[in-house]
Amino acid sequence: MLTVSAGFPRSAGSAICAHADGAYNACRTPSKDKEDRMDHIDVVLVEPIAEIRPTIYGHFAEHLGECIYGGIWVGEDSAIPNRDGIRLDVVRALSRMRPAVIRWPGGCFADDYHWQDGIGPRAQRPRRVNLHWGEVIETNAFGTEEFIRLCRMVGAAPYICGNVGSGSPREMRDWIEYCNLAGGSTWSDARAANGSPEPHDVTYWGIGNENWGCGGHFTPEDYATEYRRFATFAWSFGGKPIYRIACGPAGNDTDWTRRFFTKLRRDYHRTPGIEGYAAHYYCGTAGTATEYTVDQWYELLDKALRMEELVVQQRAIMDTFDPKRSIGLIVDEWGTWHPPVEGRNPRFLWQQNTMRDALVAALTLNIFNNHADKVVMSNIAQTINVLQAVILTEGDRMLVTPTGHVYEMYAPHQGAQAVRTVLQTSGIEYGAQGRRVPQLSASGSQREKTLTLTLVNTHASAPLAVEIRLHGGDAASASGITLRADDIHAHNTFAAPQRVQPVAATPPAVHKGALHAELPPASITRLDVALA
């Protein structure tokens, strides 16, 4: 059995077994209970972690392949039902996932994007070459006004990633002025002339994207210097708060983080603020998007679970520079990345999305919930038709992927108090090296008298019985929904768009204030527990 405790060590005297080094299986009970066929979760209601910021449930939409053009933007004259050019089927489906924030316009695209190309009459907007994503012609039909409109339609906060690689501090400060100044300046008047007299009030601003790579190939020290310059002019116009997000590491690159913060703190004592720090982690693939063995099923889940290590190690380094924990940890790109599909442009990063991707999403979101005291935002890559999309479109057709259903199921966590969970679970051995994946993953949150638990049974073929004991409260009743399929490769297609979708879960039995649930193989379950 493994004992897995959610969250970050808070105090040396914590009664709860905690991660020492970020490995999910850092704490093991000696090999007792080999025959124990029931896993256990202790939900410590008296130990709230922090509020789960809704922005953990964020998305990322880049000018890449058919994410924006075709996926979101079809234009006012399209036969596809739209409002002001934005397709309505997508708006409806996305709204059900409660997307708290959307990051735009990239990605790599951001550091080659000049925002003034994307405002004003559409017919007069310049046509540019999209360098990174197939050198296709970017018409700029979708620009700042269209992006803000999308955000308003689905109820998301806009997060704009600025251009450090090929842009200037002036270009970024002008963009912020265009968006946020109430009126009176040339830029704010231009916004009004473009149909938006009221300011857009964009809070989240990225100071570049992947500046260690496509965003300019900076060293951490060089980027720190650029960060200082850009952040100085990323202005709070009219005193409106803005949240500046620095480019963090590629995966769990601890060297980048240490060197970036060392340069900022050692050489630039008067450095301007840094509110958020964003890592990117793609867990990649094993096999292909739809073809994989059982070992490859576990291999990819194992890679996804390394997000825990990233969060634990990155936050530990950040703590040494920011002991008051005022800087939020963000993962503004994450997800699976499968090999290109024959017959599709490999630069468009289109991929199918199966139950395996859904489990990757659920495991990752559980990790973020469990670190709600540090992780303030995450943005899955990407919203539509690209990488681990929540929605796929083809012409006028649209479907919600298994990953999209996970976002619908997890929505009640948004804004609730994360509570600590301690798991006793078994490790499933896979592959020639005998690696292990825990069979159970969980996170929990409480809002008044409702406890929401999201549980993943990673086993490809075996169900899992779980006893859930509450500390600091009793369960009165419970219901739930589950995402499962009889085949680990199951996915939605335009011929069968609802093959994978949530169904009512077998209601857990409540006995003496504890719960007994049965989790189907390869499934994600949300339990809604009414507390006595």
Contact positions vs ligand AHR (CB under 6 A): 62, 106-108, 209-210, 333, 381-382, 387
Instruction: Write down the catalytic residue from 62, 146, 308, 333.
Output: 333
Tell me whether residue 177 or residue 333 sits nearer to ligand AHR (CB atom).
333
3-class SS of residue 37:
coil
CA distance 71 to 348: 12
CA dihedral over 232, 237, 239, 242, signed as positive or negative: negative
Q: How far is the CB of 339 from ligand AHR (least distance, A)?
A: 15
Burial string for 440-463 (b: 16+ CB within 10 Å, else e) reads: bbbbbbbeeeebbbbbbbbbbeee
CA distance 446 to 418: 6
Which two structure tokens, joined as six digits, stand for 401? 């992927």
Active site residue 210: yes
Q: How far is the CB of 113 from ligand AHR (least distance, A)?
A: 11
CA distance 330 to 323: 17
Q: How far is the CB of 429 from ligand AHR (least distance, A)?
A: 32
Tell me whether residue 381 or residue 500 sits nearer to ligand AHR (CB atom).
381
**DSSP codes joined into one string, 475-507:** EEEEEEEEE--SSTT-B--SSSTTSS--EEPPP
Tell me whether residue 106 or residue 508 sits nearer to ligand AHR (CB atom).
106
Instruction: Say if CB 98 and CB 155 are below 8 A apart.
Output: yes
Instruction: Write down the catalytic residue from 146, 210, 226, 309.
Output: 210
Tell me whether residue 103 or residue 374 sits nearer to ligand AHR (CB atom).
103
| C-alpha 493, offset from chain centre | 24
Q: How far is the CB of 396 from ligand AHR (least distance, A)?
A: 26
| C-alpha 25, offset from chain centre | 23
Tell me whether residue 94 or residue 514 sits nearer to ligand AHR (CB atom).
94
Tell me whether residue 233 or residue 337 sits nearer to ligand AHR (CB atom).
337
CA distance 350 to 347: 8
**CA neighbours closer than 13 Å in the CB half-sphere of residue 186:** 2
Q: How far is the CB of 335 from ligand AHR (least distance, A)?
A: 8
CA distance 133 to 349: 9
What is the distance in angstroms between the CA of the first residue and the CA of the last residue of the chain? 31
Q: How far is the CB of 213 from ligand AHR (least distance, A)?
A: 7
Instruction: Tell me the CA distances in angstroms from 175 to 40, 179, 518, one per residue in order.
Output: 52, 6, 52
Q: How far is the CB of 165 from ligand AHR (least distance, A)?
A: 11
Q: How far is the CB of 315 from ligand AHR (least distance, A)?
A: 22
* Number of other CB atoms surrounding residue 114 within 10 Å: 15
Tell me whether residue 210 or residue 373 sits nearer to ligand AHR (CB atom).
210
Active site residue 333: yes
Instruction: Say if CB 199 and CB 182 are below 8 A apart.
Output: yes
**DSSP codes joined into one string, 181-219:** --SSSHHHHHHHHTT--S-----EEEE-S-TTTTTT---
Close Cβ partners of 266 (under 8 Å, ≥ 6 residues apart): none
Tell me whether residue 278 or residue 428 sits nearer to ligand AHR (CB atom).
278
Instruction: Say if CB 222 and CB 166 are below 8 A apart.
Output: no
Q: Which residue is nearest to ligand AHR (CB)?
A: 107
Which residues are marked as active site?
A: 210, 333
